[in-house]
């Protein structure tokens, strides 16, 4: 009986060891799969523009998780000139995908005033619903929109016409359901627009001369209204956390003519 017990114990030990090694290997494989960075992509907009060529190079930060964003240009007095890029779902007011399992939204036409309100108010196109978000009939032209990149990307674009002197390039970025200790899910219990955004959108900017080649790093200049009720820029960034880590670096590159 002793010999049988020893053999059985040895077999059981080997079996358990093999299972343990396989489990560890599978765990590491899953971690590698999950941690694999998204492929760097290039987005091209407004290829037919007759103005200066501009590139925006975006490096994702540790809190990046499929954010929506818009990039535009304005003069030094803050007057909107044109959009250079906006996520296609915002540009059309139609989301191709919805989270049906949670009931939070369904795919289709959706108004999200809290998504990118600073850009939307700067664009200043009032739709038939009484807000400034694009929707069918009030879309942003296809030339200025594109798919939402999953990670690092380079935006290659042009202004519609040559611009003289200094201008500002701005980017607004927002990540859905990005809660923190200040921006909680019950902070504004009756505000359904707030609940689609949580931490408000963050606004970056860089001042540059489009006649001068060079690299210009974009800096955070403020945040948007938490539910998109206005187009003001708010500077209480001490309430923001992960929203400031969606991007680790954003820079504008102006090339030689």
169 pLDDT more than 50? yes
Mean pLDDT of 112-120: 96
Tally of CB atoms within 10 A around 236: 10
Look up residue 144 and give its DSSP letter. Answer: G
How high is the pLDDT of residue 24?
Answer: 45
27 pLDDT more than 50? no
Look up residue 236 and give its DSSP letter. Answer: -
Query: In the structure, what pLDDT confidence band is assigned to residue 109 with cuts at 50, 70 and 90?
Result: confident
225 pLDDT more than 50? yes
Q: What is the pTM of this model?
A: 0.82
* Nearest of 83, 79, 54 to residue 69 by alpha carbon: 83
Q: What is the mean pLDDT of the chain?
A: 86
Mean pLDDT of 24-32: 45
Look up residue 34 and give its DSSP letter. Answer: H
> How many Cα neighbours within 13 Å face the side chain of 243?
33
Contact 198, 177 (CB under 8 A): yes
Alpha helices, H only, 36-125: 88-92, 117-123
* Nearest of 139, 138, 93 to residue 112 by alpha carbon: 93
Q: Pairing between strand 202-209 and 219-223?
A: antiparallel
Query: In the structure, what pLDDT confidence band is assigned to residue 183 with cuts at 50, 70 and 90?
Result: very high
How high is the pLDDT of residue 110?
Answer: 81
79 pLDDT more than 50? yes
Query: In the structure, what pLDDT confidence band is assigned to residue 111 with cuts at 50, 70 and 90?
Result: confident
How high is the pLDDT of residue 107?
Answer: 59
42 pLDDT more than 50? yes
Tally of CB atoms within 10 A around 78: 10
7 pLDDT more than 80? no
How high is the pLDDT of residue 97?
Answer: 55
105 pLDDT more than 90? no
């Amino acid at each position: 009986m002793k010999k049988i017990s020893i053999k059985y114990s040895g077999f059981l030990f080997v079996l358990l060891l093999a299972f343990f090694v396989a489990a560890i290997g599978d765990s590491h494989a899953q971690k590698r799969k999950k941690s694999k960075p998204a492929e760097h992509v290039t987005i091209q907009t407004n290829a037919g523009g007759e103005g200066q060529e501009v590139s925006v190079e975006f490096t994702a930060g540790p809190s990046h998780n499929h954010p929506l964003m818009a990039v535009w240009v304005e003069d030094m007095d803050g007057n909107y000139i044109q959009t250079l890029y906006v996520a296609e779902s915002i540009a059309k007011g139609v989301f191709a995908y919805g989270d049906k399992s949670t009931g939070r939204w369904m795919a289709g036409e959706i108004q999200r005033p809290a998504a990118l309100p600073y850009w939307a108010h700067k664009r200043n196109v009032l739709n038939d619903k009484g807000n400034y978000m694009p929707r069918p009939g009030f879309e942003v032209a296809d030339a200025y929109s594109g798919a939402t990149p999953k990670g690092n990307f380079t935006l290659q674009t042009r202004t519609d016409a040559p611009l003289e002197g200094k201008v500002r390039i701005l980017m607004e970025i927002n990540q859905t359901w990005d809660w923190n200790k200040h921006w909680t899910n019950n902070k504004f219990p009756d505000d359904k627009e707030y609940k689609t955004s949580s931490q408000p959108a963050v606004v970056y900017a860089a001042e540059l001369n489009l006649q001068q080649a060079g690299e210009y790093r974009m800096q955070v200049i403020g945040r948007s209204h938490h539910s998109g009720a206005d187009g003001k820029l708010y500077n209480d960034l001490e309430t923001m956390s992960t929203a400031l880590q969606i991007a680790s670096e954003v820079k504008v590159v102006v090339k030689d003519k």
